[in-house]
Amino acid sequence: MTADPETTLRADARRNRDQILAAAKSMFAVSGPEVPMEEIARAAGVGVGTLYRRFPDRDALVRAVAMDNFERVLIDARVIAAEETSSWRALERLLRQSVALQLSVQLAMVSHRALVILKNDPEVRRLRDEILEVLDGFVHGAQAEGKLRPDVGAGDIAILFATLLRQMRAKSPDVAEMAARRCVGIMIDGLSARPGTELPGRPITSRDLDPD
């Protein structure tokens, strides 16, 4: 039995470890999981040495960040499941509010490297499956309520969401291509004028895109 870092570490070391994790999480989100270790260390306010003592290599760090994110998603999802009575509302809320969800999805989708790391980690997979299970529940529930179009699955939503954040990666090129088509289809439906949710903010015009 390996000693648990949560309890074994000296107080300051524990603090540093948390800071590193937090810094890595936000750096990964902004710049992808290949940011120089030194930048992560700097952002965490520690030296590279400290970073390396805590996480022997980049893979370990990526894994730790992913675990942390996934855990939070699961917590979010369960809280939402407990609080909302409508599955559609739950789904909507999860997609809209869960920063953790965005971060996890992003991390997993951004780089091939990260994907491989996470794919082969049984703990991560277990968490992932638990999350998908909850999501599946939301999806089926929302469809039973007649709120969610019946022709989508949890995978659609995961992909749509993931794609929205970054690029697509799927089992086969065929699935990826189909997924892309479906995403576009959904967006188009989202765009077409039918009574829907009001969008926040104001319309973004082409002027807003001007690079300056």
Partner DNA sequence: ACCGAAGCGGAAGGACATCGTCCACTAGAT
Partner DNA sequence: ATCTAGTGGACGATGTCCTTCCGCTTCGGT
Residues 20, 44 contacting (CB under 8 angstroms): yes
Of the candidates 212, 110, 113, which has an alpha carbon nearest to the alpha carbon of residue 163?
110
Tell me the closest approach of the beta carbon of residue 63 to its own copies, in angstroms: 15
The amino acid that residue 150 corresponds to is P
184 binds its own copies (CB under 8 A): yes
Counting residues that bind its own copies (by CB under 8 A) gives 67
**In this complex, which beta carbon is closest to DNA, that of residue 58 or of residue 93?**
58
195 binds its own copies (CB under 8 A): yes
4 binds its own copies (CB under 8 A): no
83 binds DNA (CB under 7 A): no
171 binds its own copies (CB under 8 A): yes
Residues 99, 93 contacting (CB under 8 angstroms): no
Question: Which residues in the 121-160 window bind DNA by CB under 7 A?
Answer: none
Cβ neighbours of 105 (radius 10 Å): 21
38 binds DNA (CB under 7 A): yes
Tell me the closest approach of the beta carbon of residue 22 to its own copies, in angstroms: 19
The piece of 14-22, 33-41, 46-54, 146-154 that touches its own copies (CB under 8 A) is 146-154
**In this complex, which beta carbon is closest to its own copies, that of residue 2 or of residue 197?**
197
The piece of 45-53, 83-91, 125-133, 168-176 that touches DNA (CB under 7 A) is 45-53
Binding its own copies (rule: CB under 8 A), the pick from 45, 119, 123, 144 is 119
Cβ neighbours of 68 (radius 10 Å): 18
Residues 139, 153 contacting (CB under 8 angstroms): yes
CA-CA distance, 69 to 60, in Å (whole number)? 14
Binding DNA (rule: CB under 7 A), the pick from 2, 6, 7, 56 is 56
Tell me the closest approach of the beta carbon of residue 178 to its own copies, in angstroms: 4
170 binds DNA (CB under 7 A): no
Binding DNA (rule: CB under 7 A), the pick from 58, 63, 93, 128 is 58
The backbone torsions φ and ψ at residue 111, rounded to the nearest 5 degrees and listed phi first, read -130, 145
* Burial class of residue 89, CB neighbours in 10 A (0-12, 13-18, 19+): middle
Q: Residues with Cβ < 8 Å from 38, sequence gap 6 or more?
A: 48
In the Cβ-directed half-sphere of 81, how many Cα atoms lie within 13 Å?
Answer: 15
Binding residues for DNA (CB under 7 A): 8-13, 16, 34, 36-38, 45-50, 52-54, 56-58
